[in-house]
Amino acid sequence: MAAVAQDTAVSTGRVTRVFIYLVLLLFALFYLLPLYVMGINSVKPLSEITGGNMMALPQVWTLAPWASAWSTAQIGVEPTGLKPYFLNSILMVVPAVAISSIVGALNGYILTKWRFRGDTWVFGLMLFSCFIPFQIVLIPMAVVLGKLGLAGSVPGLILVHVVYGIGFTTLYFRNYYAAFPTELIRAAQIDGAGFFRIFWRILLPVSGPIAVVSVIWQFTNIWNDFLFGASFGGTSQPMTVALNNLVQSSTGVKEYNVHFAGAILAALPTLFVYIVAGRYFVRGLMAGSVKG
């Protein structure tokens, strides 16, 4: 009887597992459907799309829409393609991610290992900044950028994203460093190590997991941002603003294949980051959640 019961339980478990996998597969297919539509239509001639065959595989495969989206598509009044705006986004994202992550790490280090009177209030205010809507800071940020002479430039966009991202990076590093033994910091001080030496030689080498979280979060938010880029970009607009202009500035026949190719080009960097480092994201978030 025990063997029969065990076989029944194993059989039931397999049926349940197969059902769960089928449901997950259904959701995955539903989720990937837009990507499939964009992908196959980005390598089709426009005539096949306008003929009503958006779901079918291409009869004629072509990369001309990709070449047009990258280098010759009409963006606003200039047929420059997305290439210069892609470079603007790279020049904006890399420094903004690096600076906000480093400053967040220093803030987390100070708020956990070099505590001072009122540090809880300081952290609370920085945490509060994470919940401030983008629209509220548009006018104050425009005034600051104007006074600094950074309006309509890539350095101005870097400053905007660094300021807005410090609250998040501080939260991540503060929670991560809170689980780090303070005794090691005290021992390093006794041995004569100073503020930056302790940070550089002790804390920073073990900050890999949370640094990945900070980089992925900041990279995704900054690359996908539209509002700040449209408001403060001026002639140095990022990729997302250019993609919107690509769709809106098309005249006559809508080149849907070029639009699909441009959308995929805009999404490729964040997709690459998640493929390379995505598995470390949850691991990094959980690393500082339990002390001990």
Residues 54-79 pLDDT 10s:
888 888 899 999 999 999 888 877 78
DSSP characters for 206-237? G-HHHHHHHHHHHHHHHHH--HHHHHH-TTS-
Q: Same domain for 101 and 189?
A: yes
Structure tokens at 230: 């449209």
Please check whether residues 13 and 148 belong to one and the same domain: no
CB 216 within 8 A of CB 168: no
Q: What is the pLDDT of residue 292?
A: 42
**Nearest by Cα to 185 from 169, 172, 201, 170:** 201
- 81-97 residue pLDDT tens: 899 999 999 999 999 99
Structure tokens at 122: 């300081």
Instruction: Residue count of the chain, please give it.
Output: 292
Indicate if 53 and 88 belong to the same structural domain: no
Q: What pLDDT is stored for residue 159 in this prediction?
A: 94
Please give the model's pTM, rounded to 2 decimal places: 0.84
Does 245 map to a domain? yes
d(CA 278, CA 46): 35
**Residue ranges in the chain modelled with pLDDT below 50:** 1, 9, 290-292
- The contacts of residue 47 (CB under 8 Å, 6+ apart) are none
Full residue range of the structural domain in which residue 14 is found: 2-64
Residues 267 and 162 in one domain: yes
Q: How many domains are there within the chain?
A: 2
CA neighbours closer than 13 Å in the CB half-sphere of residue 2: 0
Domain assignment of residue 30, yes or no: yes
Check: CB of residue 59 under 8 Å from CB of residue 43: no
